[in-house]
Amino acid sequence: MKIEKKYLQVLLLFPIWGAGGLYAQEKDKALPIANEEYAQNKFVDAEANYRISQSKFSKRTVAPYNLGNAIYKQNQVSEAKLSYLRALENIKSRPQKHKAYHNLGNVFMKEKDYSQAVEAYKNALRNKPSDEETRYNFALAKKMLKENPPKDDKDKDKKDKDKDKKDQDKKDQDKKDQDKKDDKGKDKKDDKGDQDKKDQDKKDDKGDQPKPKPGGISKQRLENLLDAVNNEEKKIQDKVNANKVKGKPVKTEKDW
């Protein structure tokens, strides 16, 4: 009950950082203006000037950290997370790391990424173990993680295996279907080849027989007809010649 009653503490941010010392000396005019706008709850205007400061002084940590706060105040927590991470790339001091990690933990709590929130608050406590608010948030994040554990990796592995099995079954079925198509194509090709062979055999058989001439008369028959005609003509000629010999007058032995 104690944790539930104080839950709203997670939404509180550590304040923005000032623009003094080194930053003022190097004339970062955008940063103090942005801080003033942030104090007046003009978070959109503050964001714009923080971005200007960040672009001009990319290695500094104040602008990206404060930019994260300005974006967070606009409920764009995922984008705020990027700014905090960018600030942490260059932060050297432990107090600043503590505040950045604490606010980063708040972002993860908003996103319900409790495992990452636990790690962020743990890093914040490493840099300032005495901070009670961070310690409370750390305990709350662990409680939420216990109540909302991430999906078991075994479930993921099972889903992956099921997917792999489905993919393999589909590949096997596709192969079977392709084999059936190939077999059908082969059968059709073989049937066509057999038919072509039969047609060729028929052509070859016809080639052994006398080829018919126009009019349907074969060569052999035509030769037989020609022979018959020639024989008839010879018979007629022989008969004519015989008649001529028979009708010729007999020559006498002496002339008168």
Query: pLDDT, tens digit, for every residue of 212-245?
Result: 444 445 667 677 767 776 776 776 777 767 766 6
Q: What's the pLDDT at 112?
A: 94
* pLDDT tier for residue 7 given thresholds of 50, 70 and 90: very low
**Which segment of 110-114, 133-137, 157-161 scores lowest on mean pLDDT?**
157-161
Q: How many helices (H) and strands (E) does the chain have?
A: 11, 0
Structure tokens at 128: 């300032």
Query: How many whole angstroms separate alpha carbon 95 and alpha carbon 17?
Result: 11
Query: How many whole angstroms separate alpha carbon 37 and alpha carbon 31?
Result: 10
Query: How many whole angstroms separate alpha carbon 231 and alpha carbon 214?
Result: 24
CA 57 to chain centre: 42
Instruction: Name the architecture of domain 2-147.
Output: Alpha Horseshoe (1.25)
pLDDT mean over 131-160: 83
3-state secondary structure of 38: helix
pLDDT at residue 191 greater than cutoff 80: no
Neighbours of 34 (CB within 10 A): 30
3-state secondary structure of 254: coil
3-state secondary structure of 218: strand
Q: What's the pLDDT at 256?
A: 32
Burial zone of 73 (CB within 10 Å; 0-12 exposed, 13-18 middle, 19+ buried) = middle
Q: What's the pLDDT at 5?
A: 44
